[in-house]
Amino acid sequence: MLDAAFHGDTSQKARPAKIFIDGEAGTTGLQIRERLRRRKDVALLTISAQSRKDVGAKRELLREADLAILCLPDDAARESVALIDDLGRDGPRIIDASTAHRTAPGWIFGFPEMVRGQADAIRKAPKVANPGCYPTAAIALLRPLVDAGFIAADHPITINAVSGYSGGGKSMIAAYEGGGAPAFELYGLGFEHKHIPEILAYSGLTRRPIFIPSVGNFRQGMLVSVPLHLGLLAGEPSAADLEAALRAHYGEGGAVSVIALDPPNSLERLEAEELNGTNILEIRVVASKKHPLAVLIAKLDNLGKGASGAAVQSMDLMLDLA
């Protein structure tokens, strides 16, 4: 299987690519399965609920698969990766949607638009780490501006974020849908959120950002914002300069879309759920008309471009299905 993937063999195109979603009963796994179930170019391999902890049964499915998508807790994901590694050349390629391997050596970060050449790296990779939803948005906002020299790597950055409760997994979903959760809450107040290493690794920042996310009483959708004092940035750029740098980085027509600065109707509010069900991430630069202040804002579906949509995007690249 790996020979076909790495050496450009197109024999797998004569049949649907075989995909095993390890952890298909979870939120991300269910979303991926829903996105793939009507496609003719992939065939989903399944394991019965009774056999999910049967290592022998899982090994045989992994041996049959062209690609495995891991939608598991971190420790379980590491166990599945070890099982695949033991299969050697008979093992499938991997997309891991857990946090376990996002900064690990030998893994490619599954954000194709992040930098030039990232999509090609994903296309060739045996192991791809699916980005987290918050880091996808934060990196999308920051990396182009760090690379362009507007934001210094050691600039103090604050990242504000709110997500729908589906990003919190089964227990949070049950709490909100059962009426046992608050309308809004901050979390990560220990300044040790699990996404911070990922943001540091790929944003270009060297100074640890302040990142305190929040969750609201809506199922899915996400807003991530980074406030900036323009006069403290290198060269004192205008908001238009920042927008131009973002637009030059992402171009037109891709999954990451830069929205024009200062739309005809003055933007005063932005809601989180508008992109639900899509694989789009929208970026805005919102500027004060009186003061040298701006806010970078990313909007996305935390279960789309922030999770299952990103995994399917990487799958298409890896199997030459895009």
Q: Is the dihedral of CA 88, 92, 95, 96 positive or negative?
A: negative
Locate 4 and state its tokens: 């076909």
The C-alpha atoms of residue 63 and residue 89 are separated, in whole angstroms, by 9
Locate 160 and state its tokens: 């504000």
How many CB atoms within 10 Å of residue 31? 22
Question: Quick one: which of 162, 137, 153, 161 has its CA closest to 215?
Answer: 162
The label of the residue with tokens 């202040």 reads 293
Are 281 and 256 contacting, i.e. CB atoms less than 8 angstroms apart? Answer: yes
Are 23 and 70 contacting, i.e. CB atoms less than 8 angstroms apart? Answer: yes
Residues serving a catalytic function are 133
Are 163 and 133 contacting, i.e. CB atoms less than 8 angstroms apart? Answer: yes
Q: What are phi and psi of 225, to 5 degrees?
A: -135, 150
The label of the residue with tokens 């179930």 reads 37
The C-alpha atoms of residue 215 and residue 237 are separated, in whole angstroms, by 32
212 by Cβ neighbours in 10 Å (0-12 / 13-18 / 19+) ranks as middle
The C-alpha atoms of residue 203 and residue 139 are separated, in whole angstroms, by 5
- What is the residue-wise DSSP string for 177-217? HTT-S-SEEE--TTS--TTHHHHHHHH---SPPEEEEEEES
